[in-house]
Chain A
């Protein structure tokens, strides 16, 4: 048995750990976007365009936020079938998001903005790429949870892991919205 669970506590420590972790991810992107803003004011800045795929991917990740929220509710209502389907949908939408980002990168790349240089395009590859890496980092546990929902004989009704998953997922969603608006406003 888990020693941690014996403790007297207010908020579940794993949830709290996640929140602090989100703070640290925010700092990383704050560092990068600040670098972007500073760099933009210097000579030799080159701009880029927002590819259409990014609009689609934004719609996809917004939808996935909705589906994971519904999945959480289904889990709490113990509608396991519904939970399973919604979680699977979320995972698929997550993968579609990453693919759409890739398509977006390709279309910017094909327009002649490669890694050579130090303008907005290069920053975009790195910042949005890192964001996509964080989405992929979320897809892995999501897939594991879907697998568990299908495979496991033992029913667990502890909603903490699902809550942690959905919090993280909403976070990467909001982070992308911020980055998307950021790239549109400050080019």
Chain B
């Protein structure tokens, strides 16, 4: 401490000060409502801001899926209430209009992928867990961290506002492929809605970068004494790799967007060539552009993006599973190694989204190989989770159920990835409901189940209260069963060749047979969505009225966050930061249920 003392003033005085005040349960610096809840630089508050913003987005994005499922399940029905709510432009005669349908699927994808499962998931848990689990007072730069949230909120406001403009939000799919997205005349959604979409996404990229920079430098530089890299909980490893992926891939997406903006407004033709627009009955002057170029730039982010979603969920699940199986995680180093392998491969497989774009088949075969290689680290992780459960003393807390549910959906969704990774099978399967089923189960549902596991597990640490268990169990079972009932049948539809993104399948004889199945899926989707509202109620009710947490370590976990006070102030630990002496998975060791990381090694122990 003495070196820092001379460099940075008087930390000793500060420490004494803190300890003194903690006896009265007061923070050591003065906080107003504004600095505590609004422009907060405390990582815990920023994490809650991300979480609640993400939850609002999840409700909006989920509601959109209910609306378009209504169309898919009941294409001929007239729901008068839709016109009453949405107006006659979007829901004329109580029927969702095609333009609106495309806007809905586009926004649903954008919101869930970026705003919920990237901002909401990484933003929440990286902010909350990194300082608490590595033993740091806050992030490397609390100010940049605060900016990260405000850029996220700014992006959210812009994206939300695009829903209310006359021409409607972007409607060219969440990937925003040109030429559709580059030509305002091509569709309603490619007008102002598309501009707002790009502006919002640019702000989102900045938010992710600011957050990611902070996460990386905090993990690598600010660990407490004794917290070597191999003593970090797997959550931290996962969040670290997630941040690295984001920092390296989001800027490339931004480059793609910049070129797109110039194509839209400055008359360049990076993505445009030889186009005749029927809407305006004109041939466009643009020549020499390549729409495929955008796809390369987009998917160079787009593929790492799916790992940006799933890696934090993997980390959360590993931690929750070990705690609640009362067993060390099986194969800690293999878990870290497989995270690393996934992070590397993430950058080498983007073209598997482009097998049918006219990609050179030889190049395609290389991408097939690299894609299928991902099965190896993924399988390592799955086996390690299963062997962690094996003969564990399992406590079926809501968090644990969601963690086990995650493993289930990750397996069943991952297996269909092996189908889709083959460029030959992709000729039949691309752009069908099979793809929808695959990525929703393996990334969407798994990601959200992992997020739920994290929320249920760390809720007591976040708010000092417990969530209601009965509601949690109802939430889990309906969500898991519902998710399978929604997405499993889509595999059959996809194998039969039913394309994605279509407005009304009843026009085709070959897809008529799925009318009943579509109604079934839509009904389950509505029930599953309703149960998510139960979770939202449980969450907010428990913040204020939940059962109080009375002990510091309610789950009997080894990691550092449970050594902090029940409601930690800014700075996390009164007095000194705890020192770490062992790895985070000493469960069921030497006849003891668990040994906290802060406990020094016994005489007969060797260092881990």
Contacting residues, chain A, for B251 (C-beta < 8 A): 24-25, 27-28, 31
B569 → chain A, closest Cβ, in Å? Answer: 11
Looking at chain A's contact residues, the main secondary structure is helix
* B213→A44 contact, CB < 8 A: no
- Binary per-residue interface labels of chain B (277-305) against chain A in the complex, 1 for a CB within 8 Å, 0 otherwise: 00000000111111001001100100000
Looking at chain B's contact residues, the main secondary structure is helix
Say yes or no: A7-B217 contact (C-beta < 8 A), given A31-B297, A116-B269, A122-B268.
no
A108 → chain B, closest Cβ, in Å? Answer: 14
Of the candidates A7, A23, A130, which one forms a contact with B222 in the assembled complex, judged by CB atoms under 8 Å apart? A7
Q: Tell me, yes or no, whether A11 is within 8 Å of chain B by CB.
A: yes
B287, closest chain A residue (CB): A44
CA distance A140 to B4 in the complex (A): 30
Stretch among A12-20, A76-84, A144-152 lining the B interface: A12-20
* B141→A115 contact, CB < 8 A: no
CA distance A25 to B209 in the complex (A): 10
* B137→A115 contact, CB < 8 A: no
B210, closest chain A residue (CB): A21
CA distance A126 to B267 in the complex (A): 13
Contacting residues, chain A, for B4 (C-beta < 8 A): 5-8
B308 → chain A, closest Cβ, in Å? Answer: 14
CA distance A1 to B142 in the complex (A): 13
B253, closest chain A residue (CB): A31
Contacting residues, chain B, for A29 (C-beta < 8 A): 255
CA distance A31 to B256 in the complex (A): 8
Contacting residues, chain B, for A122 (C-beta < 8 A): 262, 268-270
* B217→A3 contact, CB < 8 A: no
* A118→B288 contact, CB < 8 A: yes
* A16→B140 contact, CB < 8 A: yes
Q: Tell me, yes or no, whether A137 is within 8 Å of chain B by CB.
A: no
Say yes or no: A24-B14 contact (C-beta < 8 A), given A8-B225, A42-B290.
no
* A13→B247 contact, CB < 8 A: no
A43 → chain B, closest Cβ, in Å? Answer: 7
- The residue among B252, B285, B571 with the most chain A CB atoms within 10 A of its own CB is B252
* A5→B293 contact, CB < 8 A: no
Task: Please classify how large the interface on chain A is, using the bins under 10, 10 to 19, 20 to 34, 35 or more.
Answer: 35 or more
- Binary per-residue interface labels of chain B (141-170) against chain A in the complex, 1 for a CB within 8 Å, 0 otherwise: 110100000000000000000000000000
CA distance A118 to B220 in the complex (A): 42
CA distance A130 to B259 in the complex (A): 11
Q: Tell me, yes or no, whether A39 is within 8 Å of chain B by CB.
A: yes
Q: Tell me, yes or no, whether A110 is within 8 Å of chain B by CB.
A: no
Q: Tell me, yes or no, whether B9 is within 8 Å of chain A by CB.
A: yes
* B252→A28 contact, CB < 8 A: yes
Q: Tell me, yes or no, whether B136 is within 8 Å of chain A by CB.
A: yes
Of the candidates B9, B212, B570, which one forms a contact with A3 in the assembled complex, judged by CB atoms under 8 Å apart? B570
Contacting residues, chain A, for B506 (C-beta < 8 A): none
* A14→B268 contact, CB < 8 A: no
A26 → chain B, closest Cβ, in Å? Answer: 8
* A20→B216 contact, CB < 8 A: yes
A160, closest chain B residue (CB): B7
Q: Tell me, yes or no, whether A154 is within 8 Å of chain B by CB.
A: no
Contacting residues, chain A, for B267 (C-beta < 8 A): 114-116
Q: Which of B238-282 contact A (CB under 8 A)?
A: 247-252, 254-256, 258-259, 262, 266-270, 272-273
* B270→A39 contact, CB < 8 A: yes
* B222→A45 contact, CB < 8 A: no
Q: Tell me, yes or no, whether A4 is within 8 Å of chain B by CB.
A: yes
A122 → chain B, closest Cβ, in Å? Answer: 5
* B262→A20 contact, CB < 8 A: no
Q: Which 9 A-B pairs have the closest CB atoms?
A: A44-B288, A13-B140, A28-B251, A31-B252, A5-B8, A31-B255, A118-B269, A16-B217, A27-B251
Pull 21 A–B residue pairs with CB atoms less than 8 Å apart, ordered by A: A1-B10, A3-B142, A4-B138, A4-B142, A6-B14, A7-B222, A8-B224, A10-B221, A13-B141, A16-B217, A17-B217, A31-B255, A31-B256, A32-B258, A44-B288, A115-B266, A115-B268, A116-B267, A116-B285, A118-B290, A158-B7
A-contacting residues of B (Cβ < 8 Å)?
A: 4, 7-11, 14-15, 136-142, 144, 209, 212-214, 216-218, 220-222, 224-225, 247-252, 254-256, 258-259, 262, 266-270, 272-273, 285-290, 293, 296-297, 300, 570-571
